[in-house]
Structure 1
Amino acid sequence: MSAQQQYGSSYTDLLRTVRELGLLRRRQGYYYTRMSIVLGLLLGIVAGMVLLGNSWHQLWLAAALALVLVQVAFLSHDSAHRQIFHSNARNDWTARILAGCVLGMSVTWWRTKHNKHHAAPNQTDRDPDVQLKVLAFTPEAVGERGPLGRWLAARQGWLFFPLLTLEGVGLHASSLKHLLRRGASRADRIDAGVVAARITAYVAALYLLLPAGKATAFLGVQLALFGVCLGAAFAPNHKGMPIVPAGTKLDFLRRQVLMSRNIRGGVFTDLAMGGLNYQIEHHLFPSMPRPTLRHVQPIVREYCELHGVSYTEVGLFTSYRIVVQHLNDVGLGARDPFQCPLVTQYRK
């Protein structure tokens, strides 16, 4: 048996164990409860905005809205991964409604990008999350930039969290750019209308309810905090983990485990990261319901130890330190990002 066949069998055995234990069963009660709470909070915030009127205290509601919309984004993520319902169509429509009508983003754009990431995390020629124009993940990417770009790349770790304040605006813009591209399908054009209507209605409502200054401040706080919180939930999962060179072939188990990082913590971490703190388990079982991830973690950790696969788990603030240091080191050319232990074994 070849190494690839042996490693493929390893994941198959793990998947069989997880299925036999019933850990892939849907948890609809959990999701109905969470969606009801989120809907109630959204309605409460809207009512509070109307009752509060012309007041700078509206900025507290802007912050609250940002935090609730992050939870909506997590629910849309779970539904797009088909974790909630047995029906693929119900999952897809739920994700579309949450993303398009509530968040003002395109779920088709996000799903296309996110599926590519899941297929080959941290691989330079396949993962769109390491092909960003703002951040450089390889020395080659730094070398392609001009003097200002190289200066910024050398400090990109320190700039990472300030840049996340623009992530909310970037998500809206990227969604519309994808939906309005040349050759877009009829479904994309319909989604574009929904997303544009949601964004327009939200901005118009703010400026009708509040004076221009307060409305602008509300919008700025909401978008900035939303971007920081959402980015801070996704950032620790892969950044600072090995970068895989183009053309490298890895078996599924090692491709997902070695490039992912779990975050230790309790209820607060689970809430703040939407279950993405169990990133290894999520990548191994993308359709597994969020509340089940913590139950499968001991099984996965023990299985990785048994098969000699490095399993990475750190605290939240440690992960942020690693991310900042890694991005700065790559920008300075001080660290070779190609540190995957299987690169030489499976190089194309």
Structure 2
Amino acid sequence: MAAARRGPVAGTRAEGREGRFFSWEEVALRTGRVAAFLQQRWLVIDRKVYDVTSFCQRHPGGPRVLCHYAGQDATDAFTAFHLHKTQVSKYLNSLLIGELAPDQPSSEPSKNQLLVKDFRELRSIVEKMGLLKPNSLFFFLIFLHIVLLDVAAWLTIWYFGTSVGPFFIGVLLFTTAQSQMSWFQHDLGHLSVFTKSKWNHLVHTILMAIVKGMTASWWNNLHFQHHAKPNCFRKDPDLNMHPIVFALGKKLAAELGMQKKKFMPYNYQHKYFSIIGPVLLVPFFQLSILYFSIKRKEWLELALIVTFNIRICLSYVPLMGFKYFMVYYWLSRFLESVWFIWISQMNHIPMNIDYDKNMDWMSTQLYATCNVDQSLFNDWFTGHLNFQIEHHLFPTMPRHNFSKVAPLVKSLCARHGMDYQCKPLLTAFRDILRSLKDSGEAWRDAYLHG
């Protein structure tokens, strides 16, 4: 590849805007993890080169999302995450230091240029078809049914008392309301409920706190990283359970075994996943929310969480007493955790788990996700996350449009020989355990014989 004119080092951002050209090799050096004189973070969006070294800490989506793309092409990630790209151009303009040299390809030379081009054309088609526009009635009905479930849970206890039958019916209704609220807040976090970003952010902040007792900023910080680099170890926070509790992915598990590390008996992880996963998730969520909110000084969200706890206590304690309420509440949280962990992991744990290989956007998402068969029940039960492939390719797309874009995605996958996986719901659940068993055996073999 022809060498481009040398780019500026630290402190020359202003002059970089005036016709300064860079090569992909120069951009790739600015990851923030090399020699001191290169501790900069650059990324590329639409052939423009931006220095995000200082901006990372001020990035509304959290600093780590930008850091994960330092030294890489972030064009498709930027397009995927931002609902109104013109609104963020004012931030980009101040970070611009130059552009790729004319002899440089639009994305890294190592990537499939034709696939990148075809996916961006698909993105353009999706926008023209209006598939990124939400249906207000759909989301109103989703929220209404959550409210009705929540009210039904309280009415069951209020009218029938706390005998065994009504107690567990109340638990089931409350758990269902909370689980469905998880999917709805997920919609809000991805800016897919309202046409304006500010309304999605505002409603997300309020409902996440007063209906679920969690903070939107905490969720955004973790979840956007997951979408940016799914199944990429040390970049996807959903893999933080590796290797403390689970050894995920055969390659990483074998690596752990070669290092003679044994935090848990990983060869049995497919047996303890069903219990330990949900049990650990409840305190992890509660403690990490408090830690994150205090560290980031998210006092408003903490105050709203307090209103959630006051509301729940005032609603149920007078009806059943404090002890019964504790059982009712934490049993519901545990069941919700079971629901969440099986749905959230059925699309990812059975897929490729590795370090970041800096693949193109479509390949990154396809290798890390799979779909579950469509049905009215599956759509409702999973919050339409049975369309995980489409959701990851187009994070801001309203979920009611996933089925419409799926045939276009399948066609593009077929054209490029990519595997588009779709399976029955129970098979997806079974594949979680199968994958855990396989990676556990890979760890054991490497631990004993490596």
Q: One fold, TM greater than 0.5?
A: yes
> Could you say what the CA RMSD is over the residues aligned between the two structures, in angstroms?
2.2
> 1:50/1:169 Cα in 2 relative to 1: closer, same or farther (>3 Å)?
farther
Question: Mapping of 1:183-262 within 5 angstroms?
Answer: 184-185=296-297, 188-203=298-313, 205-246=315-356, 248-262=357-371
1:293 to 369, 386, 402: 402
Q: Is the 8 A contact 2:387 2:402 kept in 1?
A: yes
Letter in 1 for 2:275: P
> 1:81/1:335 Cα in 2 relative to 1: closer, same or farther (>3 Å)?
farther
> 1:213/1:145 Cα in 2 relative to 1: closer, same or farther (>3 Å)?
farther
Give, in whole Å, the separation in 2 of the partners of 1:325 and 1:32: 38
Give, in whole Å, the separation in 1 of the partners of 2:163 and 2:258: 49
Question: Mapping of 1:115-194 within 5 angstroms?
Answer: 115-132=224-241, 133-137=244-248, 138-139=252-253, 140-141=255-256, 149-151=263-265, 153-166=266-279, 167-181=281-295, 184-185=296-297, 188-194=298-304
Based on CA coordinates, which of the two structures has the bigger radius of gyration? 2
Identify which range, 16-25 or 266-275, moves more after superposition: 16-25
Give, in whole Å, the separation in 1 of the partners of 2:312 and 2:245: 28
Question: Mapping of 1:109-120 within 5 angstroms?
Answer: 109-120=218-229
Q: Which residue of 1 aligns with 2:40?
A: none
1:302 to 398, 406, 411: 411
Q: Is the 8 A contact 2:351 2:369 kept in 1?
A: yes
Figure out how many residues of one structure are paired with residues of the other and give that number: 329
Letter in 2 for 1:33: L
**Percent identity between the aligned chains?**
24
Is residue 21 from structure 1 mapped to residue 129 from structure 2 by the alignment? yes
> 1:199/1:146 Cα in 2 relative to 1: closer, same or farther (>3 Å)?
farther
Question: Mapping of 1:42-53 within 5 angstroms?
Answer: 42-53=150-161
Give, in whole Å, the separation in 2 of the partners of 1:210 and 1:270: 34
> 1:191/1:118 Cα in 2 relative to 1: closer, same or farther (>3 Å)?
same
TM-score norm. by structure 2 comes to: 0.68
Deviations 1:211-241 (A, max 9, x none): 4443233123211211111112111111110
Give, in whole Å, the separation in 1 of the partners of 2:278 and 2:392: 27
TM-score norm. by structure 1 comes to: 0.87
Give, in whole Å, the separation in 2 of the partners of 1:141 and 1:208: 51
Q: Is the 8 A contact 1:136 1:142 kept in 2?
A: no
Q: Which residue of 2 aligns with 1:62?
A: 171
Give the deviation of 1:193 after TM superposition: 2.2
Identify which range, 19-28 or 40-49, moves more after superposition: 40-49
| Structure 2: gaps of 5 or more residues | 1-104, 446-450
Q: Which has the higher contact order (CA 8 A, sep 6+)?
A: 1
Identify which range, 138-147 or 312-321, moves more after superposition: 138-147
| Structure 1: gaps of 5 or more residues | 337-348
